[in-house]
């Protein structure tokens, strides 16, 4: 799912390309994309785009006459910049947003169509789409601490809960926790003040660092290849590859459609966290250390 750095890149390039332009029309390929009926979608046609903003992981088009388009890309939704009048591919295309300068094509490479588009009128209606999570660049460590300790969850869940923190998902939470040297399953209410401050600093540093990295990669182009996996990442998507800090293999916890990646040496004092899928493979005899795990896998 596109997170803070990815959404920031989309917003910057959209402002540069179509900020102030007239949205000639929105062509829906999938009728399931549009989740609102009032105001109707035709209300935004032939109106000027005044700007763009981020609302959690949502992209908001600011339109004339106090109108807003609220686009949530979910896991597999992506934006592509194409020449004017380009028809979205019917297999993965969901919609085309037509401007004089080009067509913004929304795609979703998944059989589960989860991306959504809403048309709303007025700031009050727009606010209803805000999950309410803390904007970490608008907060100090005290506000961060309050949000973190508001509910008792694992750190992984807390960071990725949009009601608690804005714009952070599965990928960058892995990187943040590795940078902070904290276990993903540590309870949010059990951290010392020093550990909370370390997490606060790591959160801001990782998001800033990756925003700059992506900005350098995109340049003046459009971010057509948004992905949650990058070779430069420390742990996310790097299972069994060496941790860039200590060199020990990155571990993971698999659950549902997601996985958490971590370094046992750097984050959990060498303790392996139980992975349901792998523990079944090893007949539920779960090793406690990296050395034990390596012996089991090689035996």
CATH of domain 4-127: 3.20.190.10
Complete edge-to-edge strand list for the sheet that includes strand 77-82: 25-28, 93-98, 103-108, 77-82
- 180 within 8 A of 16, measured Cβ to Cβ: no
Stated pTM of the model: 0.91
Ramachandran bin of 211, using left for φ above 0, alpha for ψ from -120 to 50, beta for the remaining angles:
alpha
Residues 6+ positions from 14 with CB-CB distance below 8 Å: 52, 59, 104
Span 135-299 CATH architecture: Orthogonal Bundle (1.10)
Residues 6+ positions from 291 with CB-CB distance below 8 Å: none
Residue with tokens 């979910």: 74
Q: Can you give the pLDDT at residue 280?
A: 45
Same fold yes or no, 4-127 and 135-299: no
Q: Can you give the pLDDT at residue 255?
A: 78
Q: Within 10 Å of residue 238's Cβ, how many Cβ atoms?
A: 20
Domain boundaries, the chain: 4-127, 135-299
Q: How far is 99 from 44, CA to CA, in rounded Å?
A: 12
Q: Can you give the pLDDT at residue 175?
A: 98
Q: Can you give the chain as a three-state secondary structure string?
A: CCCHHHHHHHHHHHHHHHCCCEECEEEECCCCCECCCCCCHHHHCCEEEEEEEEECCEEEEEECCCEEEEEECCCCEEEEEECCCCCCCCCCEEEEEECCCCEEEEEECCCCCCCEEEEEECHHHHHCCCCCCECHHHCCHHHHHHHHCCCCCEHHHHHHCCCCECCCCHHHHHHHHHHHCCCCCCEHHHCCHHHHHHHHHHHHHHHHHHHHHHHHHHCCCCCCCCCCCCCCCCCCCCCCCECCCCCCECEEEEECCEEEEECHHHHCCCCCCCCHHHHHHCCCCCCCCHHHHHHHHHC
Q: Can you give the pLDDT at residue 283?
A: 45
Q: Can you give the pLDDT at residue 225?
A: 87
Q: Can you give the pLDDT at residue 294?
A: 57
Q: Can you give the pLDDT at residue 153?
A: 95
Residue with tokens 């940078």: 179
Q: Can you give the pLDDT at residue 96?
A: 97
| pLDDT per residue rounded down to tens, the chain (299 residues) | 899 999 999 999 999 999 999 999 999 998 899 999 999 999 999 999 999 999 999 999 999 999 999 999 999 999 999 999 999 988 899 999 999 999 999 999 887 889 999 999 999 999 999 999 999 999 999 999 999 999 999 999 999 999 999 999 999 999 999 999 999 999 999 999 999 999 999 999 999 999 999 999 999 999 988 999 999 999 999 999 999 999 999 999 987 678 899 999 999 999 999 765 544 444 455 456 666 555 545 54
Q: How far is 113 from 40, CA to CA, in rounded Å?
A: 21
Q: How far is 118 from 23, CA to CA, in rounded Å?
A: 16
């Amino acid at each position: 799912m596109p997170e803070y750095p990815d959404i920031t890149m989309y917003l910057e390039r959209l402002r540069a390309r179509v900020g102030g332009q007239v949205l000639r029309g929105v062509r829906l390929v999938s009728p399931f994309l549009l989740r609102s009926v009032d105001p109707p979608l035709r209300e935004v046609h032939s109106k000027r785009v005044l700007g763009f903003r981020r609302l959690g992981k949502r992209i908001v088009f600011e339109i004339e006459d106090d109108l807003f388009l609220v686009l949530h890309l979910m896991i597999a939704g992506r934006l592509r910049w194409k020449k004017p009048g380009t028809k979205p591919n019917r297999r993965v295309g969901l919609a085309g947003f037509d401007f004089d300068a080009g067509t913004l094509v929304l795609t979703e490479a998944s059989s589960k169509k989860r991306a959504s588009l809403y048309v709303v009128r007025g700031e009050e209606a727009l606010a209803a789409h805000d999950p309410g999570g803390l904007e970490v660049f608008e907060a100090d460590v005290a506000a961060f601490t309050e949000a973190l300790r508001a509910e008792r969850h694992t750190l992984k869940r807390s960071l990725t809960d949009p009601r608690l923190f804005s714009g952070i998902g599965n990928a960058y939470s892995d990187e943040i926790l590795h940078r902070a040297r904290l276990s993903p399953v540590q309870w949010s209410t059990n951290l010392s003040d020093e550990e909370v401050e370390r997490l606060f600093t790591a959160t801001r540093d990782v998001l800033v660092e990756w925003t700059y990295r992506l900005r350098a990669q995109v340049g003046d182009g459009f971010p057509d290849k948004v992905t949650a996996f990058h070779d430069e990442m420390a742990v996310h998507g790097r299972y069994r590859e060496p941790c860039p800090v200590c060199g020990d293999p990155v571990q993971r916890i698999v659950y549902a459609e997601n996985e958490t990646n971590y370094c046992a040496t750097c984050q959990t004092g060498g303790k392996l966290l139980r992975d349901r899928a792998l523990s079944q493979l090893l007949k539920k005899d779960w090793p406690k250390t990296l050395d034990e795990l390596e012996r089991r896998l090689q035996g």
